[in-house]
């Protein structure tokens, strides 16, 4: 693009101070040309000022967006969303809210639901086009499901537990005592909506009475008090003992060979160091979960989920507690940083590099969820530690002896540097 002398003069009239000196040189940590970031405005202190209008309560949530690190460059499709600002559909018995691809364009492979069931509250018997993966964040929940062989399952789940229902498998959920439950659902399609499920009450109400009578082998007036609308969520009575429900549903075919529930929170730790822990649930240990793999990550204050990427699926994140900063990298180069709090959602397309840092004074806990049968990641540290050292040294202009100090394992999390 050619720039005329007139345009140069006009630009100079506006930004004369900045153009008066030589352009700032690119430096480590401030690599962009033209320069980007607050550190480039020391000679023009009015440059970063935001005279408003402002909504401080909102923008104070996003220090990394308001004042990006000078290494940020370019733009990426928004990778932040939240249940915190999603409208709740509230009914007697509980509520739900959701973030699908309609709300969050990047989330092509996964849509998310946040649901609460009061003690006795029931999410009615239903099924849907996508597989459903659940994570209990609070309380206890009774889960019913039946498989293709007619093998029925009833199980109770607690905070930290998972469930998985293949697409089309009919199921129900009910909050237990003393205070019901809250949970996160992930569907293995960004388009699946919690408000677009096949409800058993809808079907029954919209089937002729003579067909119902023949189907169930009872007189038509058996159905005379049936509801003419669906229930979706309703307030029910607390169920009896688990063993009684299990006995009531048992079929001659026995139990499903692989449980539809799994304890992630109290399950084995896959990776651990002073920076935190990673627990993994995929089809290798949670055999029923054929299309959703997940990791529960706990980062200690100052801990880092190290620089990595996932070759087999996009990553859908749910922030359970704490505060985080995430940086995402793509070709271009593009590098964008944003901030996350409890109830927020992150989304990283497959193979894009990223890290997550605990920026708060307490543990950061978040879920990594993938539309995949197996959890897979590639660690930058692990890769470079197992590449010929002279080649790595040449890439970064670092003495080869320093390369030898890089950790030589993929521990997934890193503690703060010793000061």
Which residues bind to Mn ion, rule: CB under 5 A? 132, 315
Nearer to Mn ion, 132 or 282 (CB): 132
Nearer to Mn ion, 18 or 184 (CB): 184
Nearer to Mn ion, 182 or 315 (CB): 315
Distance, first Cα to last Cα, the chain: 49
Cα separation values, 264 from 164, 229, 273, 285, Å: 12, 37, 18, 10
Nearer to Mn ion, 37 or 166 (CB): 166
The distance of closest approach from Cβ of residue 262 to Mn ion in the complex, given in angstroms and rounded to an integer, is 17
- Tell me if residue 368 is catalytic: yes
The residues, any chain, with a CB within 8 Å of residue 234's CB and separated by 6 or more, are 91, 92, 93, 121, 122, 124
Distance CA 99, CA 191 (A): 10
The residues, any chain, with a CB within 8 Å of residue 286's CB and separated by 6 or more, are 162, 164, 262, 264
The distance of closest approach from Cβ of residue 401 to Mn ion in the complex, given in angstroms and rounded to an integer, is 31
Cα separation values, 202 from 169, 222, 372, Å: 17, 17, 32
CA 91 from chain centre, in angstroms, equals: 25
Nearer to Mn ion, 37 or 260 (CB): 260
Characterise 250 by phi-psi region: left (phi > 0), alpha (psi -120 to 50), beta (else). beta
The distance of closest approach from Cβ of residue 389 to Mn ion in the complex, given in angstroms and rounded to an integer, is 26
Distance CA 311, CA 142 (A): 35
Contact in structure between 94 and 236 (CB atoms under 8 Å):
no
CA 174 from chain centre, in angstroms, equals: 23
The distance of closest approach from Cβ of residue 130 to Mn ion in the complex, given in angstroms and rounded to an integer, is 9
The distance of closest approach from Cβ of residue 132 to Mn ion in the complex, given in angstroms and rounded to an integer, is 5
Cα separation values, 93 from 7, 108, 162, Å: 65, 31, 21
- What is the set of active-site residues? 368
């Amino acid at each position: 693009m050619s720039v005329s002398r007139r345009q140069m003069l006009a630009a100079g009239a506006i930004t004369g101070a900045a153009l008066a000196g030589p352009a700032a040189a690119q430096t480590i940590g401030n690599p962009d040309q033209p320069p980007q970031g607050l550190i480039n405005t020391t000679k023009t202190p009015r440059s970063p000022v935001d005279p408003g209008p402002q909504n401080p309560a909102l923008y104070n949530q996003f220090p990394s967006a308001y004042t990006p690190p000078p290494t940020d460059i370019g733009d990426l499709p928004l990778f932040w969303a939240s249940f915190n600002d999603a409208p709740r559909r509230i009914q007697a018995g509980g509520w739900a809210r959701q973030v699908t691809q309609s709300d969050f364009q990047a989330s092509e492979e996964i849509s998310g639901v946040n649901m609460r069931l009061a003690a006795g509250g029931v999410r009615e018997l239903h099924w849907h086009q996508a597989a459903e993966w659940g994570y209990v964040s609070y309380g206890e929940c009774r889960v019913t499901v039946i498989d293709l062989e007619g093998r029925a399952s009833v199980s109770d789940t607690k905070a930290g537990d998972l469930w998985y229902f293949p697409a089309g498998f009919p199921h129900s959920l009910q909050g237990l005592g003393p205070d019901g439950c809250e949970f996160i659902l992930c569907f293995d399609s960004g388009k699946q909506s919690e408000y677009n499920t096949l409800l058993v009450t809808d079907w029954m109400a919209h089937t002729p009475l003579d067909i119902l009578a023949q189907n169930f082998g009872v007189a038509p007036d058996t159905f005379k008090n049936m509801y003419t609308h669906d229930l979706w969520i309703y307030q029910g009575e607390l169920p009896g003992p688990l063993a009684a429900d299990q006995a009531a549903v048992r079929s001659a075919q026995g139990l499903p060979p692989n449980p539809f529930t799994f304890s992630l929170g109290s399950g084995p730790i896959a990776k651990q160091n002073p920076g935190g822990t990673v627990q993994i649930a995929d089809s290798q240990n949670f055999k029923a979960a054929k299309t959703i793999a997940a990791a529960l990550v706990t980062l200690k204050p100052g801990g880092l989920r190290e620089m990595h990427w996932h070759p087999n699926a996009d990553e859908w994140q749910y922030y359970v507690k704490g505060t985080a900063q995430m940086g995402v990298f793509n070709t271009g180069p593009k590098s964008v940083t944003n901030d996350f709090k409890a109830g927020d959602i992150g989304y990283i397309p497959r193979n894009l590099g990223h890290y997550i840092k605990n920026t708060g004074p307490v543990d950061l806990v978040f879920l990594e969820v993938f539309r995949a049968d197996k959890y897979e990641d590639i660690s930058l540290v692990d890769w470079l530690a197992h590449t010929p050292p002279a080649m790595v040294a040449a890439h970064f202009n670092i003495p080869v002896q320093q390369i030898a100090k890089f950790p030589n394992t993929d521990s997934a999390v890193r503690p703060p540097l010793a000061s």
